[in-house]
């Protein structure tokens, strides 16, 4: 007969989850976590109340040792990447400084199911428990993870619903033409008593100065440097202006009193990822939505000038008026500035061909001193103005001819009508193929023929639009030239950057020391060093 087995149970001496000896009298190190999702005054009291509540709650338990109440203010819980207080708390817990975390609810912890479960599991592996007071969930409990999964999913869906409602509300405001601006980082406007944008006079003057300097020929980079040196604060209150900030101000339609709404949209409500709207969602263009700082005509003029400079290929960020204007007669490269004797009293700035020593053959064009360029400009302009009245009359005729775009506009209107007709035929072709049996080779041939016709008309329309834009740019340049010539005093003619920018297109420098000034009315004047 077999001997009966004798089984002795050896009781567990450590907690299965925390690893702490069951006989240990050590207190659990407990931390609280408090968060409100906005930084508004209405939620401040709630935030303070949470901190005070968890401080007293933890300290009132004799078996707990208070560590800290970790906090985040004004931060959404959709993900944990930008929650500094939360991330610091998790790091402390993983390093052994915390045994238990107490928080109000799963939605306060994270509304993202993946983040919530990942964090809880990471803490659990280190023996750190989380207690969600509202749902009465202890993560070390066998049912804890299931309950967290359910509650986190519900919280995530709540966030999705809130996000969709907010998006709907924003688009409804856009459709109603209601304009909102990031006032804290938007130069020239503030939120008025009626909730609409109102002009800040001193900031508006800075905006007007930026536009005026650009029209006078200064680059975005040189304007930024000028404002920085003048001590003018940026829209966000910084001391150093950047080129892209100037370009943004020059291109923002809100300064002419209009607004293009929904330039960007949220792709993912969890990550709050934004994308430039390239036609995926509707946009809304509202005219006369708020007071204008820049006259619409001046704003359009700046857009044309931006386009002209971009197309010219001579874009420069130098602060000098001569940058991009001096062209080498040997190789066609632009002149750049060089400083001679930079550390002595003989310091001088000279201009020479940027490619002078780069090719197989050295360019023989001379270098130029800035004072010589200024003097030669005055000489060339004096020659140009010998018969000023005739010059002005010819300029007015050229400007009138350039501004007369009636023929182009009429042809564009005809092309738009033709595109509408062809687009209708394409849709009809597609519909017929969808509802009845058609020979597919015949269908594809007819469809391709219509598409080719539409593309041909579209290309012609685009070509005419570009031609129209070029004419208007040239007319605008001519207007500036005529105004400058009209205002000049022959007896006190002298160099100044605005006059230089307004009248001179470029100067070609030749090896025999000839300089040919190409003025913006199409005239050429030759002078010598």
CATH number reported for the structural domain that contains residue 112 in this entry = 3.40.50.1390
d(CA 254, CA 244): 17
Task: Judge if 367 and 509 occupy the same domain.
Answer: yes
Evaluate whether 275 touches 265 at the Cβ level (below 8 Å).
yes
Which tokens sit at 186?
């938007």
On the question of pLDDT at 39 being above 50, the answer is: no
| 303 and 345 inside one domain | no
The residue ranking higher by pLDDT, 344 or 353, is 353
Q: Are residue 395 and residue 252 in the same domain, yes or no?
A: no
Q: Give me the pLDDT at residue 509, please.
A: 95
Cα 65 to Cα 336: distance, rounded to the nearest angstrom: 70
pTM: 0.53
Same domain? For 385 and 523 the reply is yes
**pLDDT above 90 for 440:** no
| Best-predicted range by mean pLDDT (79-88, 349-358, 403-412, 477-486) | 403-412
Whether 217 has a pLDDT exceeding 80, the answer reads: no
Total count of domains within the chain: 3
Question: What mean pLDDT is predicted for residues 110-123?
Answer: 72
The boundaries of the domain holding residue 121 are 28-162
pLDDT for 77 beyond 50: no
- Cα dist. 118→82, 96, 146, 357 in Å? 16, 18, 13, 62
DSSP summary character for residue 341: S
Rounded Cα distance between 187 and 190, Å, is 9
Q: Which of 53-67, 139-153, 237-251, 413-427 has the lowest mean pLDDT?
A: 139-153
Neighbours of 470 (CB within 10 A): 15
Rounded mean pLDDT, 55-71: 91
188, 237: one domain: yes
Cα–Cα dist 451/148, whole Å = 56
Q: Residue 338: which pLDDT band, with cuts at 50, 70 and 90?
A: confident
Is 177 domain-assigned?
no
Domain CATH code at residue 393:
1.10.287
Q: Are both 155 and 251 inside the same structural domain?
A: no
Q: Which of the pair, 285 or 457, is modelled with greater confidence? A: 457
Contact 510, 504 (CB under 8 A): no
> How confident is residue 89, by pLDDT bands cut at 50, 70 and 90?
very high
460, 415 Cβ separation under 8 angstroms? yes
pLDDT of residue 277 exceeding 70, the answer is: no
Give mean pLDDT, residues 483-490: 82
Q: Is residue 301 part of a domain?
A: yes
How sure is the predictor about 166, in pLDDT bands with cuts at 50, 70 and 90? low
Are 281 and 189 in the same domain? yes
């Amino acid at each position: 007969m077999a001997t009966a087995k004798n089984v002795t149970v050896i009781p567990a001496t450590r907690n299965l989850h925390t690893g702490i000896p069951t006989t240990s009298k050590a207190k659990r190190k407990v931390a609280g976590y408090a968060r409100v999702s906005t930084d508004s005054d209405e939620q401040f009291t709630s935030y303070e109340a949470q901190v005070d509540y968890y401080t007293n709650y933890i300290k009132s338990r004799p078996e707990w040792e208070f560590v800290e109440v970790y906090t985040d203010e004004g931060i959404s819980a959709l993900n944990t990447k930008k929650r500094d207080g939360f991330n610091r708390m998790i790091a402390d817990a993983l390093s052994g400084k915390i045994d238990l975390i107490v928080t109000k609810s799963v939605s306060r912890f994270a509304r993202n199911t993946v983040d919530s479960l990942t964090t809880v599991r990471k803490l659990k592996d280190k023996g750190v428990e989380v207690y969600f007071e509202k749902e009465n969930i202890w993560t070390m409990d066998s049912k804890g993870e299931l309950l967290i999964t359910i509650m986190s999913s519900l919280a995530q869906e709540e966030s999705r619903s809130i996000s969709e409602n907010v998006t709907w509300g924003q688009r409804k405001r856009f459709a109603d033409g209601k304009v909102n601006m990031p006032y804290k980082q938007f130069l020239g406007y503030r939120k008025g008593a009626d909730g609409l944008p109102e002009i800040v006079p001193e900031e508006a003057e800075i905006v007007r100065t930026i536009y005026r300097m650009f029209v006078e020929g200064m680059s975005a980079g040189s304007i930024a440097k000028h404002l920085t040196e003048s001590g003018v604060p940026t829209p966000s209150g910084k001391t150093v202006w950047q080129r892209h900030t100037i370009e943004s101000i020059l291109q923002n339609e809100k300064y002419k009193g209009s607004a293009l709404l929904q330039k960007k949209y949220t792709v993912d409500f969890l990550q709050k990822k934004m994308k430039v709207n390239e036609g995926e969602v509707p946009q809304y263009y509202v005219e006369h939505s708020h007071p204008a700082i820049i006259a619409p005509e001046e704003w359009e003029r700046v857009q044309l000038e931006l386009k002209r400079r971009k197309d010219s290929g001579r874009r420069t960020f130098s602060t000098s008026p001569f940058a991009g204007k001096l062209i080498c007669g040997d190789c066609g490269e632009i002149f750049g500035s060089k400083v001679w004797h930079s550390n002595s009293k003989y310091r001088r700035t000279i201009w020479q061909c940027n490619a002078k020593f780069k090719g197989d053959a050295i360019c023989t064009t001379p270098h130029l001193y800035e004072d010589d360029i200024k003097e030669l400009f005055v000489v060339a302009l004096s020659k140009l103005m010998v018969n000023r009245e005739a010059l002005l009359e010819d300029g007015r005729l050229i400007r009138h001819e350039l501004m007369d775009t009636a023929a182009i506009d009429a042809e564009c209107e005809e092309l738009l009508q033709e595109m509408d007709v062809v687009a209708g035929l394409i849709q009809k072709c597609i519909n017929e193929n969808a509802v009845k049996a058609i020979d597919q080779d015949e269908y594809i041939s007819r469809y391709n023929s219509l598409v080719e016709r539409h593309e041909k008309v579209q290309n012609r329309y685009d070509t005419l639009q570009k031609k129209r834009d070029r004419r208007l740019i040239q007319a605008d340049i001519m207007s500036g030239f005529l105004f400058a010539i009209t205002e000049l005093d022959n007896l006190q003619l002298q160099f100044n950057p605005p006059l230089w920018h307004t009248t001179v297109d470029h100067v070609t420098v030749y090896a025999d020391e000839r300089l040919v000034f190409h003025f913006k009315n199409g005239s050429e004047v030759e002078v010598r060093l």
